Amino acid sequence: MNALELHSISKSYGAQKALENVSLSVPTGSRTVIVGPSGSGKTTLLRMIAGFEFPDSGYLSLNGQTLVDSTHEVPAHQRLIGYVPQDGALFPHMTVAANIGFGLATTGREKQERVAELMDSVALDSSMAQRWPHELSGGQQQRVALARALAQQPRLMLLDEPFSALDTGLRANMRKLVARLLAEAGVTTILVTHDQSEALSFADQLAVMRHGRLVQSGHPLDLYRYPEDEQTALFLGDAVVMPARIEAGWAHCDLGRIPVNNHRNNSAAQIMLRPEQLQLASALPDSAEVAGCRAVVTERDFSGNTCTLTVELQSSASGEDSGRSLLVRSSGMYAPPAGSAVHVSTIGHAHVLSEP
């Protein structure tokens, strides 16, 4: 069952179109991530679901209840939706315990116990209960904001760039902690981020936004492998994009003949491969009859566990020098140095992109 349904939501601020015809279904219990560059309309969309903005047209419903349509609107405080805004927005004049307990209906001992339970669930030590927000790190503040939102036992949790203020190591840990916590609480979640690796790792449903439009949604692995167009491909990671002639399930390109997953016969098209689909071996003798292409490593970018190489293709299957440069992902320690002659072959299918 779908918890949340967005249907053709549009919103403008004056001449600025912030959202255009956005439709999305969020299944109950899912972790949906909306990813897009800054200014693509992510925050506007979350605020609309929470009830702080209203669409010019379209409607949205939660668990079958209409929240907004052309005739009525359910106000934010009646939606039972948890919302953690981008800056966490803790009450600065309240302690951690008071922040978390703010909306609880209970009092006295019962309230104290509930606050302690919530602190425990977001891995905050009980000794922090009497601290002020300014005495907490960014990660701790985010967890207080999350506990405060969870206290309301929301039907849906909205998180706006919750990890953006944290540094890399802490970020990955917080991401796992929050994912586990939300799964345990069984709360349907929508998380917004501009960070593609965060999006791919957190989501079981991913929706890509650009210029106020939702351009593609689906399982993260499917979007990574089968992006609709070049822009989406590049937004989700590094990509090798090159022209090809498509014929009977094969792409004929500078790398030779590669099977394609989506067929379009006899047409010229752009194909995409992820750099990790390219494999390097030592260059073989000229006469060798193998698929792939000879190349020279022109650049090596070492970043620890992986290495990104730039290789320049020497000769294509047709025997002509293409001079095309490609990115190849390789194990950091064993990558060939710049200047090495190599042979490039491919793994798996190439993906045919839609025309821009």
* Residue ranges in contact with ligand ADP by CB under 6 A: 13, 16, 18, 36, 38-44
351 binds, among ligand ADP, Mg ion, none (CB under 5 to 8 A by kind): none
Q: Show Cβ contacts of residue 216 under 8 Å, excluding neighbours closer than 6 positions.
A: 207, 208, 223, 227, 228, 232
Closer residue to ligand ADP in complex, CB, 165/284: 165
Q: Which residue has the tokens 């992109």?
A: 353
39 binds, among ligand ADP, Mg ion, none (CB under 5 to 8 A by kind): ligand ADP
What's the min distance (Å) between Cβ of 163 and Mg ion?
13
Identify the CA nearest to 161 among candidates 147, 151, 175: 175
18 binds, among ligand ADP, Mg ion, none (CB under 5 to 8 A by kind): ligand ADP
Closer residue to ligand ADP in complex, CB, 82/85: 85
Closer residue to ligand ADP in complex, CB, 114/211: 211
Closer residue to ligand ADP in complex, CB, 85/139: 85
274 binds, among ligand ADP, Mg ion, none (CB under 5 to 8 A by kind): none
Count of helix runs (H) and strand runs (E) in the chain: 8, 20
- Cβ–Cβ < 8 Å for 49, 156: yes
Q: Which of 43, 205, 270, 322 binds Mg ion (CB under 5 A)?
A: 43
16 binds, among Mg ion, ligand ADP, none (CB under 5 to 8 A by kind): ligand ADP
- Measured CA to CA, the distance from residue 121 to residue 119 in angstroms comes to 5
What's the min distance (Å) between Cβ of 214 and ligand ADP?
12
Closer residue to ligand ADP in complex, CB, 190/335: 190
Tokens of 351: 């993906």
User: What residues from 213 to 272 belong to the interface with Mg ion (CB under 5 A)?
Assistant: none
Q: Which residue has the tokens 């692995």?
A: 221
Q: Which residue has the tokens 């002509």?
A: 320
41 binds, among Mg ion, ligand ADP, none (CB under 5 to 8 A by kind): ligand ADP
What's the min distance (Å) between Cβ of 85 and ligand ADP?
11
Radius of gyration of the chain (CA): 25
- Measured CA to CA, the distance from residue 257 to residue 253 in angstroms comes to 6
What's the min distance (Å) between Cβ of 206 and Mg ion?
17
Tokens of 71: 């005739």
Torsion of CA 146, 148, 153, 157, to 10 degrees: -30
Closer residue to ligand ADP in complex, CB, 44/270: 44
Stretch that binds Mg ion, among 17-25, 42-50, 136-144, 167-175 (CB under 5 A): 42-50
Task: Give me the phi and psi of 55, to 5 degrees please.
Answer: -75, 150
248 dihedral zone (left: phi>0; alpha: psi -120 to 50; beta): left
Closer residue to Mg ion in complex, CB, 43/95: 43
277 binds, among ligand ADP, Mg ion, none (CB under 5 to 8 A by kind): none
Closer residue to Mg ion in complex, CB, 42/225: 42
In the bound state, the residue with its beta carbon closest to Mg ion is: 43
Answer yes or no whether residue 205 interacts with Mg ion by CB under 5 A. Answer: no
Identify the CA nearest to 96 among candidates 71, 75, 125, 68: 125
Q: How many residues bind Mg ion (CB under 5 A)?
A: 1
Q: Where are the beta strands (DSSP E) in 226-349?
A: 240-247, 250-253, 256-259, 267-273, 278-282, 293-302, 306-315, 325-331, 341-346
Structure letter (DSSP) for residue 310: E
Contacts with Mg ion, residue ranges (CB under 5 A) = 43
